[in-house]
Amino acid sequence: MTKDSPIGVFDSGVGGISVLRVMQETMPHENFIYYGDSGNAPYGEKTPDHIRRLSENVIRFLFHKEVKAVVIACNTATSAAADYLRAKYPDRIILGMEPAVKPAVLQSGKRHPAVLVMATSSTLHGERMKHLVSLHGEDGDIYPLAAPGIVRLVEAGKKDSPEMLEYLSEILSPYRKHADGSIGTHIDSLVLGCTHFPFVEEHIKEVLGYPVEVYNGAYGTAREALRRLTEAGLLSDRAAPGDVKLYSSSTAPDPTALERMLLLS
C-alpha cells in the first residue's frame, strides 16, 4: 500500500455510488475502486451471518486490488459485518456507515425534534441502531421506518418511476401532508439510513409536502476516511484528479447501471 493506492468502496448494489460521490468531493485526488454486489442485493432482507459472508467476499476482492482502505458504503453491511471485519483484519483501515441520528437530533434547531429514520429492516433492528436510539432517544422522538422497496426500485432503474412515488406515498402516509392539509405526525428531521435513499431524496421531500432537514451519514464517513488516511500518511499528494474503476457482481443484462448512477449522483 502506498499513497497512490486506491480506496475501495462497496455496497450491496448501486446505492453506495451516493457515498462514492461524497468521497470524491472530499478527497478529489484519490483513486477509487467501487464494487456493487447487485447480484446479491438487497442485503437488508438477509440474515446477519449471510451479510457477513457476502461482505467478506467483497472485501477480499478489494484487498486483492491492493486498496489502502475500505469504505463499507452500506448501513446494513456496516451493522452486520463491520466489527467482524475489523477484528479479522486489524491492520487494515475499514470504515463503515452509520445513520446520522445524532446530528438529526442535536443539530435540528428544535428542542425535542421528531426524527424519521428511513432504513432497511436489518439496519433498524441492528445493534448500532439500538445504541443510537439509547443515546439520543431522550433528546428527540425517533420514528423508524423500514423502506425496502426503495432499494428494489433503485436497483431496477426505477428511481423516478410512478411506482416509486406510489410506494413513497404509501409508506410515508402517517407523516406526509394530505390533500386536506392534515398531517398525522409532523417530522422535523429525516435521516436517510440507506445509501440508496439519497437518489430519491427529492421524491421523499415532495411526498412529505413540507420542509424537513435531511441528514446523510455519507458526509461523516468521508470526513473520517480523510482523517484516518491523513493520520496513516496515506493521503494522496497527486495534483491530478483521481479516477474510479467500477465492478459489479450482477449478471443482469445492463452492464452500464453503475456508470449511469455515477453520472446521476
CATH, range 101-216:
3.40.50.1860
Above 90 in pLDDT, residue 257?
no
Name which residue leads in pLDDT, 256 or 211.
211
Q: How does the average pLDDT of the chain come out, rounded? A: 91
Active site residues: 74, 194
What span, in angstroms and rounded, lies between the C-alpha atoms of 226 and 144? 30
What span, in angstroms and rounded, lies between the C-alpha atoms of 235 and 116? 36
pTM above 0.85, yes or no: yes
CB atoms within 10 A of CB 49: 11
The residue-averaged pLDDT of 62-90 equals: 96
What span, in angstroms and rounded, lies between the C-alpha atoms of 54 and 71? 15
Please give the C-alpha separations between residue 235 and each of 26, 69, 146, in angstroms, as whole numbers: 12, 10, 37
Domain boundaries, the chain: 7-97+218-264, 101-216
Residue that has been written with the C-alpha cell 472485501 in this structure = 59
Name the CATH topology of 7-97+218-264.
Answer: Rossmann fold (3.40.50)
What's the pLDDT band for 25 if we cut at 50, 70, 90?
A: very high
In 3-state terms, what secondary structure has residue 191? strand
Residue 229 and residue 69 in contact, taking contact as beta carbons nearer than 8 Å: yes
Above 80 in pLDDT, residue 150?
yes
* 7-97+218-264 and 101-216: identical CATH topology: yes
Cα dihedral value 262, 58, 40, 116, nearest 10:
-60
Question: For 22-26, 32-36, 87-91, 151-155, which range has the lowest pLDDT when averaged over its residues?
Answer: 151-155
